[in-house]
Structure 1
Amino acid sequence: MGVKLEVFRMTLYLTFPVAMFWVANQAEWFEDYVVQRKRELWPPEREGQLEEFKERLRKRREEKLLGAAQQSS
């Protein structure tokens, strides 16, 4: 029984990770479950929201540079 048990265990050890890898890499499954769940948790942002954020960052950077230039003068 020892050899048969070892063959069974080796088959199980090799089959399980390969099967999980195959299941996890199915494009249809990924689209149906993962992407859909992500969109539920974090809905797409408004169109102008990204532009507003970039503008705020630009203004903040300009203010920092202006403050640094005034201190060095």
Structure 2
Amino acid sequence: MGVKLEVFRMILYLSFPVTMFWISNQAEYFEEYVVKRKREICPPERDAQKKELEAFQERMRRRREERLLAEAEKSKQM
């Protein structure tokens, strides 16, 4: 009885994690749970948001260029 019990326990201990891994890596489960959850947390960008972000990036780029230009002119004067 001791060997049979140990074999049964070993099969149980190994089959549970393997089964859980197999179930969690099914494509249907991934599509159903993970993708939908991601879309809830981070909805796709809208055109207005994208244009606003691009405008902000352009303003920041201009500020950085102006600052660098001012620093370059200041260093030339010294």
TM-score (ref. length: structure 1)? 0.70
Change (3 A) 1:32 1:69: same
- State which drifts further: 53-62 or 18-27: 53-62
Question: How many positions carry a matched residue from both structures?
Answer: 73
Whole-Å separation in 1 of the counterparts to 2:9 and 2:70 = 69
- RMSD (CA atoms): 2.4
Percent of residue pairs bearing the same amino acid type:
68
Matched residue type, 2:28: E
Matched residue type, 2:44: P
Matched residue type, 2:21: F
1:59 aligns with 2:62: yes
Structure 2 unaligned regions, length at least 5: none
Structure 1 unaligned regions, length at least 5: none
Show the counterpart of 1:37: 37
1:6 aligns with 2:9: no
TM-score (ref. length: structure 2)? 0.66
Change (3 A) 1:38 1:53: farther
